[in-house]
Amino acid sequence: MPEGTDRKEGMPFYLGAFLAVALEWCAQARNAVLQTQTLQALETRVTALEEEKKTLECQNKAYQSTLKQAQEAKEKAEKQLAEAMGFQADFYTQEVALQVQLTGLQDLVKADAEVQKDLKDRCYEFFRISQCSSAKEMWDTLEVTHEGTNDVKRARKHTRIQEYEMFRMRKGESIAEVQKRFTHIINHLMSLGKTFDKEELNIKILKCLDISWQPKVTTIFESKDLASLTMASLFGKLREHELEMNKLNVQESEDKHVRSIALKDAKHKSKQDSSDESE
C-alpha cells in the first residue's frame, strides 16, 4: 500500500486534511456573509430610525409652532375679552351718569312747570276774590271754588273711592310712581273725610302689585307686622327690593352681552383658522 494513504478510508491523508480545511473555510465564509448581511440590515434599520427621528422632530416643531400660535390666540382673545368688558363697564357708567343727568333735568322741568302752575293758580285766586267786599265773602268763594258744594264733595268722594278700589300697579311702573299715585288718592280721600288704618292701607298696597312681586309680598305678609308698619316704611321696603332686582337684571344683561361678544370673537377666530388651513 502506498505511503500517506489512510488504509481505513482508502484516500490520502493530505486530502482529508485539505478537505477539513476547505470545509472550515466555507463555514467561516458563510459566517462572514451572514455577519455582513446582518450588519447591512442593521445599518438599513439605523438609517430608517434616523429618518423616522427627523420626521418626528419636524412634527414636534410643527406641533410646538401650532401650540405657540394657539397660546397667542388665547392670550389675544383674553385681552380682547378684557377690553370688551372694560368698554362695557365704561359704557354702563356713562349711561348711568347720563340717566342721572336726564332725571335731574326732568325734575327741574317738572319743578318749573309746578312753579308756573302755582303762579297761575295764585293769579286766578286773586281774580276770584278781587270783587268781594268782605272777608267772609272771600272765604265762602274760595271754599266753594276748592271744595265745591256738598253734592260736589260727595261726587268727588265717590270718584276717589272708586279710584282707590280699582287701584292697580301699571305695567312697567316703578314703586316710586305707584307710591305717588296711591298717596295722591289717599290724600284726597282723607281731605274729604275718609279714614284708613295702617293695616288696611298696607294690605291694599301689597294686593295692587303685579305677579312679579309675589315672593316679596308673601314675605311681608308672613312677617305679620302690617298693623304697625307705616305706609312710608312699606314703600321703603318695596323700593329696596326693587333696587336689588334692578341690579340683578343689569348684571344678567352685562353677562349676556359679554358672553355674546366672546362667542362672536371665538367664531371669528375659528373662521380665520379655517381659512388659513385651507390656504
pLDDT, one tens digit per residue, over 166-225 is 999 998 899 999 999 999 999 988 888 888 888 999 999 999 999 989 988 888 888 878
What predicted TM-score, i.e. pTM, was given to this entire model? 0.43
> Picking from 10-14, 76-80, 84-88, which range would have the lowest pLDDT averaged per residue?
10-14
| pLDDT tens column, 94-152 | 777 788 888 888 888 888 888 888 777 777 667 667 777 788 777 777 766 666 566 66
CA distances, 80 to each of 90, 266, 270 (Å): 15, 11, 15
3-state secondary structure of 5: strand
Higher pLDDT, 151 or 48: 48
Residue 3: pLDDT band by 50, 70, 90 thresholds?
very low
Higher pLDDT, 55 or 156: 55
Apex 189 CA angle, 184 and 194, nearest 5: 145
| pLDDT tens column, 248-261 | 888 887 777 777 77
pLDDT value at residue 2: 46
pLDDT value at residue 4: 45
Average pLDDT of the chain is 81
Rounded to whole angstroms, how far apart are CA atoms 83 and 61? 33
Domain ranges of the chain: 100-147, 150-230
Apex 180 CA angle, 177 and 184, nearest 5: 145
Best CA proximity match to 126, nearest among 112, 145, 113, 110: 145
pLDDT (average), residues 237-254: 86
pLDDT (average), residues 234-257: 85
Q: What cell was used for 159?
A: 270718584
Percentage of the chain exceeding pLDDT 70 = 85
pLDDT value at residue 127: 67
